[in-house]
Amino acid sequence: MTKKQESEAGNDKPSRRGETSGVKKNAAERTPAKSKKFVPTDDSIFKEFMTEKDLAIEWIQEYLPWLADLLNLNELKIDKGEYYDDEIRKRFTDVAYSIPFLNAPGWAELLIILEHKKQGSRKDLCIAIAQALTYLANQCLKAARNGSAGKRIPQPIPVIVYTGANPDLEPISWGDAFPLPPVLGEYALGFRPVFLNMTRMRLEGRLPENPFLKILYNTMTRHSVRDLDGFEETEFQPLKSLPTKLSSQSQKRVNSLLVLYSTRIKVLPPEERRERFEKLYRSVNLEEKMGKDVLYEFFAPKAREWGKEEGIVIGQKKEREEILTSQRQTLSATISERFGSCPTALKRALGKIRDVDALFNLRLFAVTEAQSVDELLERAKGAAQ
């Protein structure tokens, strides 16, 4: 074999390990995996706001004043609550703040663990307590494995932030949830979290002073469209106190509040949603505060979404009308065939029937039971009501 032939033969071999010349890649290799679209939730927006240091400090001063006076809030650190459980799966608490005490360098730091809950069952409250205990246990294990077990470990205070529909919901302790016989009382775990019922606080007028936090909790604690009557022109008014031109950080916060609000009116028809948003940004002059470009970035996808939904609704209505028309025509032909003609009064009555099943049943009646046109007319008038 000549060198040229050897060279040509070599071209048929894989040039690198794992590669085969002339073999097409399968569909999975050709098509990149699609990333899942992120859908904002109450939890994700809660976490977004409560992991901003300035908002966190204001929130602690507002709702945990008895702690705020003991803590050096300027040294507050946002801890995402990250740890590894025994199965090495990554988990998260909602938010955790690590804060040193004032004038007490020898003391352990305080770990404020926030758990946001929309559901208020006994099970949900127990889960929140268990999450805080699990976090503490993992911190202790981590310290022991790192050889720092003798050092002070941040002491946790779990805080359940409830934004569900029940303003009368009360907290429970671990001992309440899992009671022991009296003889074992000294071994009972009296672990009771701080419980903040934000729904009750909204009804009592005790929402935060910060405009962003005020709108956040005002929106999160509303769970029906009826709760949102007049909301756009009243509850978003704290935004009016903000500067005429918002900073990029403030624009991001407003954008998140608009996203949260959109989840509350999602059940409304597209046209009504559009009207509510227009009323909202006119009432607080969002166009001037955020700028047309930024506002457009938010509303353009919404407009496309509303348009698509409207198109689907219109298409469904058109399809339904076509089915109704076809059913009426078939029924009229059946009546004419059996009774010689379909009177105008009966056709008008058929035109008022909006239910496909009712037309089908009327046709069945016309074929099997009806004895006269008058009997059919009476039945058709009843179906049209």
Confidence of residue 108 (pLDDT cuts 50, 70, 90): low
What pTM, to 2 d.p., does this model score? 0.64
**What value does the mean pLDDT take over residues 239-249?**
83
- Burial of 284-318, coded b for 16+ CB within 10 Å and e otherwise, reads bebeebbeeebbeebbeebeeebeeeeeeeeeeee
CB 228 within 8 A of CB 271: no
CB atoms within 10 A of CB 205: 6
Q: Tokens standing for 49?
A: 């706001």
- Residue 30 pLDDT greater than 90, yes or no: no
Top mean pLDDT of 2-11, 37-46, 207-216, 351-360 is at 207-216
- pLDDT band of 14, cuts 50, 70, 90: very low
pLDDT at 248: 84
Rounded to whole angstroms, the Cα distance separating 272 from 274 reads 5
Q: Are 134 and 156 in contact (CB under 8 A)?
A: no
Q: What is the pLDDT, as a whole number, of residue 116?
A: 85
Written as six digits, the tokens of 98 are 């690590």
Higher-scoring residue by pLDDT: 167, 12 = 167
DSSP state of 345: H
Determine which of 15-29, 82-96, 208-222 has the lowest per-residue pLDDT on average: 15-29
How do residues 119-134 score in pLDDT, each as one tens digit?
877 777 777 777 767 7
Residue 53 banded pLDDT, cuts 50, 70, 90: very high
Under 8 Å between Cβ of 209 and 218: no
3-class SS of residue 116: strand
CA separation for the pair 129, 335 (Å, rounded): 70
Q: Are 114 and 96 in contact (CB under 8 A)?
A: yes
Task: Give the pLDDT score at 13.
Answer: 45
Confidence class for position 62, pLDDT limits 50, 70, 90: very high
pLDDT, averaged across the chain: 76
Which segments of the chain does DSSP mark as H helices, in order? 3-10, 27-30, 42-50, 53-63, 65-68, 122-145, 174-177, 198-203, 211-220, 231-234, 248-264, 270-283, 286-290, 292-339, 344-351, 356-368, 373-384
Exposed / middle / buried, residue 245 (Cβ in 10 Å: 0-12, 13-18, 19+): exposed
Q: Three-class SS of residue 159?
A: strand
pLDDT score for 38: 54
Higher-confidence position of 11 and 282: 282
Mean pLDDT of 75-97: 61
Alpha-carbon gap, residue 375 to 372, rounded angstroms: 5
Strand bridging mode 110-117 / 155-162:
parallel
Section 204-220 average pLDDT: 91
Question: Letter for the amino acid at 221?
Answer: T
Enter the tokens of residue 25.
């890649």
**Model confidence at 349: pLDDT above 90:** no
Report in angstroms the alpha-carbon separations of 352 from 45, 157, 172, 309, 364.
48, 65, 58, 27, 18
- How long is the chain? 385
For residue 336, pLDDT beyond 50: yes
What's the whole-number mean pLDDT along residues 167-193? Answer: 71
- Mention every residue, 6+ apart, whose C-beta is less than 8 A from residue 202: 217, 218, 221
Q: What is the CA radius of gyration of the chain?
A: 33
Question: What's the pLDDT tens digit per position in 266-325?
Answer: 888 877 887 888 788 788 887 777 776 666 666 666 655 655 555 555 556 677 787 888
Instruction: Compute the distance between CA of residue 241 and CA of residue 236 in angstroms, rounded to an integer.
Output: 10
